[in-house]
Structure 1
Amino acid sequence: MREAVMAALSTVNDPELHRDLVSLGMIEHASVEAGVASVKVNLTTPACPLKGKIEGDVREAVLAVPGVTRVDVTFGAMVRPPAQPAMTGVKHVLLVGSGKGGVGKSSVSVNIAASLARDGARVGLLDADVYGPSVAHMMGQGGAKVTANAERKMQPIEAHGVKFVSMANLSPAGQALVWRGPMLHSAIQQFLKDAAWGELDYLIVDLPPGTGDVQLSLTQTIQVTGAVIVTTPQDVALIDAARAIDMFRKASVPVLGVVENMSYFVAPDTGHTYDLFGRGGSRKLGEEYPLLGEVPIDIDVRQDGDRGTPAVLAHPDSAAAQALIQVARNLAGQVSVRALSQSLADLPDQLTVV
Structure 2
Amino acid sequence: MQTTDVESTSTCDSCNQTACSATKRQKDESEEAFQERRQLQSRLCRIRHKVVVLSGKGGVGKSTVAVNLAMALKMAGKRVGLLDVDIHGPSIPTMMGLEGKQTIGTEDGLVPIEMGGIKVMSLGFLIKNPDDAVIWRGPLKFGVIKQFLKDVVWGDLDYLIVDSPPGTGDEPLSVCQLIGTLDGAVVVSTPQRVAAVDVRKSITFCRQLHLPVIGVVENMSGFACPECGAVTHILRSGGGRQISIDMGVPFLGSIPIDPKIAEAGDSGLPFVQHFVDSPTAKIMQTIIEPVLALDGRDQGAASSSSGLSTKSVPSPG
**What's the RMSD between the two structures over aligned residues?**
2.3
CA contact (8 A) 2:244 2:251 kept: no
Unaligned runs of 5+ in 2: 1-40, 305-317
Following superposition of structure 1 onto structure 2, how do residues 183-332 of structure 1 map, counting pairs within 5 Å?
183-222=140-179, 223-269=181-227, 272-287=230-245, 288-332=248-292
Using a 3 Å threshold, how does the CA distance of structure 1 residues 337 and 127 change in structure 2: closer, same or farther? Answer: same
Using a 3 Å threshold, how does the CA distance of structure 1 residues 310 and 270 change in structure 2: closer, same or farther? Answer: closer
Q: Give TM-score, length-normalised by structure 1.
A: 0.69
Using a 3 Å threshold, how does the CA distance of structure 1 residues 272 and 91 change in structure 2: closer, same or farther? Answer: closer
Distance 2:207 2:300 in 1: 21
Distance 1:164 1:338 in 2: 24
Structure 1 residue 337: Cα displacement: 5.0
Following superposition of structure 1 onto structure 2, how do residues 1-354 of structure 1 map, counting pairs within 5 Å?
87-151=44-108, 153-171=109-127, 172-222=129-179, 223-269=181-227, 272-287=230-245, 288-333=248-293, 336=296
Structure 1 residue 297: Cα displacement: 0.7
> Partner letter of residue 183 of structure 1?
L
Distance 2:283 2:42 in 1: 29
Q: Give TM-score, length-normalised by structure 2.
A: 0.77
Distance 2:258 2:100 in 1: 26
When the two structures are aligned, how many residues end up with a matched partner? 260
Q: Deviations over 1:169-194 (max 9, x none)?
A: 11121110000000000010000111
Distance 2:297 2:142 in 1: 31
Structure 1 residue 275: Cα displacement: 1.2
Unaligned runs of 5+ in 1: 1-83, 345-354
Q: Which runs of 4+ in 1 moved over 3 A?
A: 268-272, 334-341
Structure 1 residue 338: Cα displacement: 8.5
Q: Deviations over 1:32-88 (max 9, x none)?
A: xxxxxxxxxxxxxxxxxxxxxxxxxxxxxxxxxxxxxxxxxxxxxxxxxxxx99912
Structure 1 residue 269: Cα displacement: 4.6
Using a 3 Å threshold, how does the CA distance of structure 1 residues 121 and 271 change in structure 2: closer, same or farther? Answer: closer
Distance 1:86 1:235 in 2: 40
CA contact (8 A) 2:43 2:149 kept: no
Q: Deviations over 1:281-309 (max 9, x none)?
A: 11221333111121111111111111111
> Partner letter of residue 255 of structure 2?
V
